[in-house]
Amino acid sequence: MHFSGLRVIREALTGHKGWKPLWRNPEPQPAYDYIIVGGGGHGLATAYYLAKTFGRARIAVLEKSWLGSGNIGRNTTIIRSNYLLPGNEPFYEFSMKLWEGLEQEFNFNAMVSQRGILNLCHTDAQRDAFRRRGNAMLLAGADAELLDREQVRAMAPFLNFDNARFPIKGGLLQRRAGTARHDGVAWGYARGADMRGVDLIQNCEVTGFRIDGGRISGVETTRGYIAAGTVGVAVAGSSSRVMAMAGMRLPIESHVLQAFVSEGLKPTIPGVITFGAGHFYVSQSDKGGLVFGGDIDGYNSYAQRGNLPVIEDVAEGGMALMPMIGRARLLRVWGGIMDMSMDGSPIIDRTPVEGLYLNAGWCYGGFKATPASGYAFAHLLATGRPHETASAYRLDRFTRGYVIDEKGVGAQPNLH
């Protein structure tokens, strides 16, 4: 089934009877060449690129719930490549370039909207740090502009410029950044993978790994044993629990991150605005809701819901940045489980078990990474070698001392 404007018009005129399900619902086979554990954005993108770009077959994605039920369907949809460090920036810029062609590539509307992201700065030192980051972005082929206070005011006159503690002094703008519809991304990758013969198996939880002589031979699931030569794990907030079944202890803590959406308002927010000093960020959905969030909940949890102290903290951050937000009514609040790595950067690597690979540690930022993460993980699974933009994301960097600490805050997940 091919999507197009003409198709939409034809269906509208014929009672919408021609639409088909986007993917099959197959029974698990006894054996596959490749099993991807986790049907979130990263797992689905991995299966898609494995089949499409690397020409692999006999692939299954095993998802314990429904496809897209995890963080891919719970995030605040921001995509950007405004990173500083050499281990990160080329990877996220690769992702940004994949986003720019994604909808045409998989023929699905993921509402990719390059409406820009503005990071506000509040001190001269922070402006210097933004200048350095902007230069690093330019060197990696990304776009970046440093704005002064009046340029920020012209873009977003509703901000509180004279906040006594955090007066706005300017901002770092990436115009190619923006938002994308998170479910649409999951559905687009799922459909594209299914079209290429990947079995997407829902309600199939992996409950154990079968390891013979240091090599993976398959996975135990709630729907029986399934054999596989290569297994890639992409379970985000459940990474520690799942990898513990293979005898591994990860440098990852799981925390809840909450998100908020207001009632629909007239167009107000020009793009994405982040207030790092107060840990608050906001954008506006196409339906008009203000979509915003802040810090992680300050305790470890595997629950997909948060608690009131962070709601209060986020509300305070919003009021400090744009007091008019106090007039908007809150519509919904929800949470997802973040796999917070100890340096704030991800892991895309092989493990000590031969044939078992890990994709994890995405912290708050894994949605924007979805295309590059899927591509790089598929590259690793298919070729056994890391993709050139992801070669720093090694699991052993914590023992070797090569951490990628983008924020320079050490092993403190709440500060990443």
Ligand X SMILES: Cc1cc2nc3c(=O)[nH]c(=O)nc-3n(C[C@H](O)[C@H](O)[C@H](O)COP(=O)(O)OP(=O)(O)OC[C@H]3O[C@@H](n4cnc5c(N)ncnc54)[C@H](O)[C@@H]3O)c2cc1C
- Which residues contact ligand X (rule: CB under 6 A)? 37-43, 62-65, 69-72, 74-78, 205-206, 234-238, 242, 257-259, 293, 336, 362, 364-368
Measured from the CB atom, the residue of 69 and 163 that comes closer to ligand X is 69
Q: How far is the CB of 165 from ligand X (least distance, A)?
A: 25
Q: Closer to ligand X at the Cβ: 242 or 378?
A: 242
Decide whether 99 or 169 has the Cβ nearer to ligand X.
Answer: 99
Smallest separation, CB 48 to ligand X (Å): 13
Count of CB atoms within 10 A of residue 139's CB? 12
Q: At closest approach, how far in Å is the CB of 241 from ligand X?
A: 7
Smallest distance from ligand X to CB 339, Å: 7
Token pair, residue 381, equals 């699974």
In the bound state with ligand X, the residue whose beta carbon lies nearer, of 153 and 223, is: 223
Q: Which residue is nearest to ligand X (CB)?
A: 40
Nearest residue to 273 (alpha-carbon basis) of 318, 326, 224 = 318
Nearer to ligand X, 126 or 239 (CB): 239
Sequence-distant (≥ 6) Cβ neighbours of residue 312 within 8 angstroms: none
Residue 81 C-beta: closest distance to ligand X, Å:
11
Nearer to ligand X by Cβ, of 40 and 171: the residue is 40
- 183-219 burial, b if ≥16 CB within 10 A, otherwise e? bbbbbbbbbbbbbbebbbbbebbbeebebeeeebbbb
Q: How far apart are CA 284 and CA 265, in angstroms?
A: 9
Nearest-approach distance from CB 264 to ligand X, in angstroms: 20
CB of 365 to ligand X, least distance (A): 4
- In terms of CB distance, is 215 or 332 closer to ligand X? 332
Gap between the Cα atoms of 389 and 387, Å rounded? 6
